[in-house]
Amino acid sequence: MEISQYLSSEPVLSLAERLVEIAPGQITRVAPTVTGTEAVEGSVKLAREVTGRPIILGFLGQYHGESTYLTAAASTDLPSNTRGFAQYVPGVVLVPYPQSFRAPFHRGPGPYDDTLYLEYIREWVLRYQVEPDQVAGVLIEPVAGEAGILSPSQAFWDGLTAMCQEYDWKLILDEVQTGLGRCGTVFAAERWGLEPDLLLVGKGVTGGGQAVAGVLGTEEMMAGSAAHLGGTYAWEPAACAGALAGLDLLADGSVLSNVMALESIAREELGPLVGEVGQVGDVRWVGAWACLEFVTVADATEPAPEFQHAVHLAAMRRGVFAISEESKPLYRMQPALTMEPELFRWSCRQVADAIREVAEDMTTSHGSGQSHSVDQRRAPRIG
Ligand SMILES: Cc1ncc(COP(=O)(O)O)c(C=O)c1O
């Protein structure tokens, strides 16, 4: 076990051992951090240290935190948020994260195929931008959370891991959001049989308590490392005791089956909205996570931010609070992993009714079915 604190304690050691026990693949080591951001930054240090290579391959639309270095460069924050620092970060090459709804890559009339994203890396990035032996590692969220619950296919993961092997790129999975049950398995990596070299945890590992995050890694990545991770407040014993209590809750499997029940409910209740309401462009779900994208009636992929805002308010009036940011065409539902399935079903139905209400309002107030404006009396803007 590798703990960066000078003075260790029982909860710290137990937490490190428990995380190694439940981690996928060949993970044997842990380095504690306070935040997910620090875990991301630490993983980049380790990948560069072990490989002696400078470049990190990341994916546009991911979120890795708020530091001014790598996480800012690869964050979903809009350029207006990162202006003045992200654009000057060297050592990072970004490629699009696979997604079917607004896919930048699509070939021919056949079905959507996200291995084209790998082809783009091979045929374009490696040919024109960076040589494979300059890449230290691939930093990727197994499901892109902030980008709207995007979930690549098994074929994509198989292809990406094959490239990692071919070029000796280290696979760094950012499981700060997906880890510890959100996707219905302890780590999302398990859904696709991924064996990361480094795996980053945060958020869920705290069981909702005090800050705990960390880097988990293989012997190769961490046994001989001289890199310093952690910090003064990393893994306070009380925080570790809270995290252990959270892991106890995950251990018997009932939380994970609850999450899978929530996933089925999202599919049943929200999935059919795509065909039913013209302004629902796409619905996606993985575990206890769902995302809706609203579009204009005139164009099936043009974002409809005012529609989204009106749905958000209408759903809140009905008692459901989801995540809706003005700058992103994404409406995300993120229930507690332990939410009663029937309560989640009720919540989905409230959201569905809110969507129908807003769609109908629009048709009534404009007669045209266009979605770029809503009745402001029913949907006052706030902020
Ligand atoms: C995937 C992912 N990585 C990293 C972070 C950063 O974690 P923190 O906010 O603890 O610094 C987040 C936070 O939302 C995240 O979602």
Q: Of 34, 37, 141, 229, which is best to mutate to test ligand 1, by the most ligand atoms within 8 angstroms of its C-beta?
A: 37
Return the beta strands (E) in the chain as ranges: 27-33, 55-60, 92-96, 135-140, 170-174, 198-201, 213-218, 280-285, 290-294, 323-324, 331-333
Summarize pLDDT for 245-286 with one digit per residue, the tens.
999 999 999 999 999 999 999 999 999 999 999 999 999 999
What secondary structure letter does DSSP report for 249?
H
Reply yes or no on whether the pLDDT at 18 is more than 90. yes
The mean pLDDT value for 104-125 works out to 91
Task: State the distance from the centre of ligand 1 to the C-alpha of 189, rounded, in angstroms.
Answer: 17
Q: Is the pLDDT of residue 6 over 70?
A: no
Is the same domain home to 315 and 215?
no
Which atom of ligand 1 is nearest to 203's Cα? 10
Q: Is residue 316 part of a domain?
A: yes
CATH number at residue 348: 3.90.1150.10
Residue 322 DSSP class: -
The answer to whether residues 310 and 168 belong to one domain is: no
**Digit-coded pLDDT (tens) for 44-83:** 999 999 999 999 999 998 899 888 777 666 666 677 777 7
Full domain range(s) for residue 270: 254-366
Regarding whether 164 and 189 lie in a shared domain, the answer is: yes
pLDDT recorded at residue 379: 36
Q: Is the pLDDT of residue 367 over 90?
A: no
Contact 213, 36 (CB under 8 A): yes
CB atoms within 10 A of CB 300: 12
The structure's pTM equals: 0.92
Q: β-pairing, 290-294 with 213-218?
A: unpaired
Residue 291 lies in a domain: yes
- Distance (Å) from CA 41 to ligand 1 centroid: 11
Judge whether residue 374 has pLDDT over 90. Answer: no
Whether residue 374 lies inside any domain: the answer is no
CB 197 within 8 A of CB 224: no
**According to the model, what pLDDT value does residue 381 have?**
37
**Per-residue pLDDT tens digits for 304-363:** 999 999 999 999 999 999 999 988 899 999 999 999 999 999 999 999 999 999 999 988
User: Can you tell me the distance from the alpha carbon of 257 to that of 254, in angstroms, rounded to the nearest whole number?
Assistant: 5
The residues, any chain, with a CB within 8 Å of residue 197's CB and separated by 6 or more, are 47, 137, 170, 171, 172, 217, 218, 220, 221
* Cα gap 204→199, rounded to integer Å: 14
User: Atom 3, ligand 1: which residue's CA is nearest?
Assistant: 64
Question: Which amino acid residue places its CA nearest to atom 7 of ligand 1?
Answer: 36
Same domain, 80 and 137: yes
Domain boundary among 205, 232, 251: 251
| Model pLDDT, residue 231 | 86
Q: In this structure, what DSSP letter does residue 168 have?
A: T
pLDDT at 82: 74
DSSP structural state of residue 295: B
264 and 186 assigned to the same domain: no
131 within domain boundaries: yes
In a domain, 373, yes or no: no
